[in-house]
Chain A
Amino acid sequence: MSREAVGRILAPAVLGIVVLAAWQLLTAAGAVDDYLLPSPAAILEQMIEFAPTLVGSALITGGNALLGLVAGTVVGILLALAASASRLVDHLAAPVVAGLAVVPIVALAPVLNTMYGADSQLGRQAIAALAVFVPVFVNSLRGLRQSRPVHRDLMRVYAARPAQEMRYVTLPAARPFVFTGIRIASSLAVISALVAEYFGGPRGGLGGLISTSAASSAYARAWAYVVSAIVLGLAFYLVTSAMERLATPASTRPGRAGGTT
């Protein structure tokens, strides 16, 4: 392993262990009351004891987030394509997107949960999709406007059809931006799906279990679900980050000299 890689992986790992050890010592010594902050060991114990529920609830919340991410991404990209092709759509979409961007999840969740009924996950999926849509749309539209005049001139010189210009120039130039939008949206999808569970609808997801555990004073268990939610969010983020890296040509990655001029 190179020195740089050692530093990048080892340093945060060491820091994490030090923090956990200090946390454990403080709680074991009785400096902090258990209900204020359970010890890492107690949380770990709960995680092991409730492992099946932990995984099951993460799958429910993760499933809602994933469906929302896919749906919001598809709609976001399609609408960005329409807006880049037509000035009218662009002008129509701008205020709608600005409005959607500021819709608070806490306000919308009870409405949608009531609308779709107590046994439906649809409201949560819709909320996740809504949260995903905005950054995907904004970034995709920006990406679709990245093609350079010299490349458009070349396509005209080659007498390329509009679909060919799209395929050879416009879409490849947009791709890194689209994936940046998806990466930003991935964390929002998990957070939205989880928060939406606090406002009615079926139990069994991470958000519902965190509030139930906390309400019954099972603080260590509540923290165990919080850890699970963090792992879930990180998984979404890491997967979409890797996709973004793959979609970005080396020459356009930040921190590297490049370009074609």
Chain B
Amino acid sequence: MTAQHAVVVDTVDKVFGTGERRVVALDKVSLTVAAGEFVSLIGPSGCGKSTLLRLLADLDEPSAGTITVFGKPAKQARIDQDYGIAFQQSGLLPWRTIAANVELPLEVHGVGKRERRERARELLELVGLADFLDKHPDQLSGGMQQRVAIARALAERPKLLLMDEPFGALDEMTREYLQGELVRICAETGAAVVFVTHSIPEAAFLSDRVVVMSPRPGRIRAVLETGFSSADRGAGMREDPSFFAAVTRVREALGAAHHEPEALGAAHDEPTPHAEPVA
């Protein structure tokens, strides 16, 4: 448990509600993510993968166990801006330009105007959107909005990226394109990534390790090493037998985890911890 680990999750439980409505979202989950490592969390609805990500981000607190991010408690890591985050919704502010959206975290943290603008330009170049600085989010496609959200997540130069199904709402072709972009961005920034996904090929393509989870209660079922390096992850890899083999391994591990019929899932769907409106 030293600073060379990006994330250490130690026997964490997360319980929502009480009495009859009590849902065990996570049950004794332990996981270590090394610096620079790409780890995917995959599993059926209700397996607690998004809950686990929210705990890492300190958007929610574990019911038991500890979470350490770069050797600090998750809360301190959040306050120190040690991670960047991207959600399934891009979460761009519609009244701000693309550049102003990327600058938002820097602005909140009191970075000067010129430095902010420079950094935003740099980041938007990184995600290939330098020509869209002064556009508004609604003028961009869904895939472009997600690229802006990734640029924003990188604004504070985090060594850890938390991503909650960032490509979940995109079509397959945009999705594959952005996966390629993410591989390149991770290689350039050297950041560790914890990536929540529903997609087996996505997990197999992107990850150094795939964490397979099972629901009710949310547990880690298996951890698979893909054995790919970022140099392997070119467009050709998707047609390579080694990639198909990795996909098959993830699918089989998931099949073992997912023995219950999905129809039962509706009643126990993953709890949304942010349902409480602002009072």
Task: Identify the A interface with B (CB < 8 A).
Answer: 84-87, 90, 145, 147-160, 164, 168-170, 172, 175, 249-252, 256-261
Contact = CB atoms under 8 A, between A and B. Distances in A.
A197 B91 CA distance: 51
Given A145-B277, A157-B57, A260 B104 contact: no
Nearest to A83: B279
Contact of A152 (B81, B89, B278): B278
Nearest to A156: B59
Interface in B69-89: 78-79, 81, 85, 87, 89
B93 A172 contact: yes
Question: How large, as a class, is the contact surface on chain B?
Answer: 20 to 34
B108 interface: yes
Contact of B104 (A158, A170, A251): A158
B259 interface: no
B108 A169 contact: no
A252 B90 contact: no
A168 to B, nearest CB: 7
Contacts of B145: 260
Contact of B278 (A145, A157, A251, A261): A145
Contacts of B136: 249-251
A260 B85 contact: no
Interface of B: 57-59, 78-79, 81, 85, 87, 89-95, 104-105, 107-109, 136-138, 142, 145, 169, 274-275, 277-279
Contact of B59 (A84, A157, A169): A157
A150 B87 CA distance: 8
Contact of B138 (A156, A164, A259): A259
Contacts of B79: 159
Contacts of A159: 78-79, 81, 108
B274 A149 contact: yes
Pick from A152, A158, A249, A252 the residue with the most CB of B within 10 Å.
A158
Nearest to B274: A149
A145 to B, nearest CB: 7
Contact of A260 (B92, B107, B109, B275): B92
Identify whether the interface residues of B are mostly helix, strand, loop, or mixed. loop
A260 B138 contact: yes
Contact of B274 (A85, A152, A158): A152
Contact of A153 (B59, B92, B108, B142): B59
Contacts of B92: 260
A256 B274 contact: no
24 contacts: A145-B277, A148-B91, A150-B87, A150-B89, A150-B91, A152-B274, A153-B87, A154-B104, A156-B78, A157-B59, A157-B78, A158-B108, A159-B108, A168-B107, A169-B93, A170-B278, A251-B94, A251-B136, A251-B137, A256-B138, A258-B94, A260-B89, A260-B93, A260-B137
A169 to B, nearest CB: 7
Pick from A151, A152, A154, A168 the residue with the most CB of B within 10 Å.
A154
B94 A261 contact: no
A152 B278 CA distance: 9
Contact of A261 (B58, B59, B89, B277): B89
Contact of A160 (B90, B108, B169, B274): B108
A169 B90 CA distance: 15
Given A158-B105, A172-B95, A249-B94, 7 more contacts: A150-B89, A151-B93, A158-B109, A169-B93, A250-B138, A260-B89, A260-B92
Contacts of B91: 148, 150-151, 153-154, 260
A159 B277 CA distance: 19
Nearest to A247: B95
A168 B108 contact: yes
A170 B95 CA distance: 12
Contacts of A152: 274, 278
B217 to A, nearest CB: 24
Nearest to B105: A158
Nearest to B106: A158
Contacts of A250: 136, 138
A84 B278 CA distance: 8
A249 B95 contact: yes
A259 B145 CA distance: 10
Contact of B94 (A164, A170, A259): A259
B80 to A, nearest CB: 9
Contacts of B85: 154, 157
Nearest to B140: A260
Contacts of A251: 94-95, 136-138
Pick from A84, A147, A150, A160 the residue with the most CB of B within 10 Å.
A150
Contacts of A249: 94-95, 136
A260 B94 contact: yes
Contacts of B57: 157
B57 to A, nearest CB: 6
